[in-house]
Every structure is written in structure tokens, then in C-alpha cells.
A = this chain, B = another copy of it.
Amino acid sequence: MEKEILIFGHKNPDTDSICSGLVKEKLSKKLGMENVKAVRLGKVNKETKYVLDYLNLEEPGLVEELEEGQEVIMVDHNEFNQSVAGIEKAKILEVIDHHRIANFETSEPLSYTARPYGCTSTILLEEYKTRGIEISKEEAILMASSIMSDTLLLKSPTTTEYDKKALEELEKIAGVDIKQYGLEMLKAGTDLNDFTAEELISLDAKSLDKNGTKFIIAQVNTVSIPDVLKRQEELENAIKKEVESKGLELFVLAITDILNSNSEVIALGNRIDAVEKGFGKKLEGNRTFLEGVVSRKKQLLPNIDKNI
């Protein structure tokens, strides 16, 4: 049998990487390319698992390294350092992506379709349409899942008009209330129940040091701040341990509502004044609500840092 052409998204795969890979496999087969197989470069996250379970699909197989000359199709990425080991020696037949191009090169001409859209699946939908290929309900749900994941239900600043129109079209084919489905999908992805309080405060924690003042700003994403706040006492205990063991002056945990673009922060330590000054708000019960704040890099860190 002819060797299979592997299709994959980036390492630490998100919903777009997995679903666009599966869709590209289906589209390729419909176009007569039989020997293609979608695979994954890492663990499927909870959000993506929700999509696969909903559609009763199995996870693609895991690939950790390519053999020399392996034929591949890359989706949702192009930079070799975000791809599989051995990608440099693979034969890249095609790339479908919506990121900048860098750390990428081939020795032969190839097919490369990049568009500055919010999602790879929005590009794939265009391919279906220009080739006149019918879109199944399953394919529509896979593509819609990718779009809603990458654009946080079309609310992220990365959303383009193309993504909006694509989702509209896909909803009609999918025949489901796509916003309702998407909300459930995003919720599944922010399911923090499996994590201990210690895991939760360190999932995405950034350690900082300003002139010897050590502090941490951690962040968790959620679709329900109250759900996370049910565990406030447990989280505070974990934070206190961190403050003591690491000699921190401040620990900030931002619980970010990715749907409404707000955050509730829990802050503990000797320098909670930096948070209060930074946002002009008093903590009550060790926490406060920050309207419109979602970004650590652009909002949380600068405001806190300048008051440390």
C-alpha cells in the first residue's frame, strides 16, 4: 500500500488544529486523494474532546516524529518549532494556515494557502466552496467548532468578517443552534474540576520580580466566574502556601470570563495595595471585579507593576 500522507496541526493542539486536520482529511478524500490521514502532535484538550464526543469521532492518532521524506500536509501552523520532530526532512505538500510565516522553508514548490483570518477552518470552507464540494453536517460542525474556539464565539479581536460569514453559513448546514453548542464546547474547555487548587493556580502562572519584590500573576479562563469562586477558600489556601514557600510579596489570580471579557481577581500578600492602586478599586474578601480586563500582558501586568 502506498504510504499515507499525514495531516496535522501544531503541537499542544487546540480545537482548530485537530478539527481542521480532520476536515482537511475529509475534503482531500472527496477530491480523490485517498491516502491521507489526520493525526495529532499532542494530547487532545477538553474543549476538543467535547467536539469529538459530540460527533462520536475518535481522536486522531498521535505522531511524535516523522521519518525522512514523509509526505505531509500542515494545517493551522507553519513554524517548524511548533511542529513535529523531523519536519525539516519531510516533504511538505501543502500548508493551510492563518498565522505569520516564519521558520519555514521547503526545497520544492508546494501548495500554500494562508489567509489573515481568525481561523484555519474559515480558509477550508472557502476551499469547499471554490471546488464545489458538498459540506456534510459533521464537517460543518467541525469547522464551526474551530471558528468558535479560535474567535471565542466571534468576540476575540482576531475575528474577521470572513469568520463571521463562515460561521453563519456553517450554522445552516449544521442544523443546530450553533451559539448554544459553542457555549457548551467552550465551557467544556474551561472545565477546571479535574484540577487541584494547587494545579489551578499554577496552570498559567507568571513569576515576576521588580527590584527584589517577588510577585506572581496567574490566570485561569472560565465561562463562569461564580463556578470558580465556589473554590475560593481552597484556592486561597493554595495561594498562601505559594506566598510563604516562595517568599512572595503578592499573588494575583485572575479568573477571566472569556465570554464577557471581564476578570475577577483574587489577591493575597503584603502588597495587595499595588492591585488596589493599579485599578482604583478596594479588595473585598480578598477579591475584586475588573470590568473589561482579560489580558495579563496588556492590562494586568502594567497596572500592577507600576505600583510595586
- Residues of A that sit less than 8 Å from B by CB: 98-116, 130
**Chain B residues with Cβ under 8 A from A110's Cβ?**
100-101, 114, 116
Contacting pair A109 B104 (CB below 8 A): no
Closest B-chain residue to A114, C-beta based? B112
Contacting pair A99 B105 (CB below 8 A): no
Contacting pair A102 B100 (CB below 8 A): no
- The answer for the CA separation of A113 and B105 in the assembled complex, in Å, is 15
**Chain B residues with Cβ under 8 A from A116's Cβ?**
108-111
Interface SS, A side: loop
Contact of A112 among B102, B108, B109, B112 (CB under 8 A): B112
**CB-CB nearest 3 A-B residue pairs:** A112-B114, A109-B116, A102-B105
A241 CB to closest chain B CB (Å) equals: 41
Extra inter-chain contacts (17) besides given A99-B109, A100-B108, A112-B113, CB under 8 Å: A100-B105, A100-B107, A100-B109, A100-B110, A101-B104, A101-B112, A102-B105, A102-B106, A103-B105, A104-B104, A108-B116, A109-B114, A109-B115, A109-B116, A110-B114, A112-B112, A113-B114
Closest B-chain residue to A112, C-beta based? B114
- The answer for the CA separation of A256 and B175 in the assembled complex, in Å, is 63
A92 CB to closest chain B CB (Å) equals: 9
**Chain B residues with Cβ under 8 A from A130's Cβ?**
130
Closest B-chain residue to A106, C-beta based? B100
**Chain B residues with Cβ under 8 A from A115's Cβ?**
109, 111
- The answer for the CA separation of A103 and B114 in the assembled complex, in Å, is 17
**Chain B residues with Cβ under 8 A from A103's Cβ?**
105
**Chain B residues with Cβ under 8 A from A108's Cβ?**
100, 116
- The answer for the CA separation of A100 and B107 in the assembled complex, in Å, is 6
A to B CB contacts below 8 Å, 11 in the list = A99-B109, A100-B105, A100-B106, A100-B107, A102-B107, A103-B105, A111-B114, A111-B115, A111-B116, A112-B114, A130-B130
- The answer for the CA separation of A114 and B101 in the assembled complex, in Å, is 13
Q: Which of A103, A107, A108, A112 has the most CB of B within 10 A?
A: A112
**Chain B residues with Cβ under 8 A from A98's Cβ?**
109
**Chain B residues with Cβ under 8 A from A107's Cβ?**
100, 102
**Chain B residues with Cβ under 8 A from A114's Cβ?**
109-113
A33 CB to closest chain B CB (Å) equals: 14
**Chain B residues with Cβ under 8 A from A99's Cβ?**
109
Contact of A113 among B101, B106, B113 (CB under 8 A): B113
A30 CB to closest chain B CB (Å) equals: 17
**Chain B residues with Cβ under 8 A from A104's Cβ?**
101, 104-105
Closest B-chain residue to A104, C-beta based? B101
A31 CB to closest chain B CB (Å) equals: 14
- The answer for the CA separation of A112 and B100 in the assembled complex, in Å, is 10
- The answer for the CA separation of A136 and B116 in the assembled complex, in Å, is 29
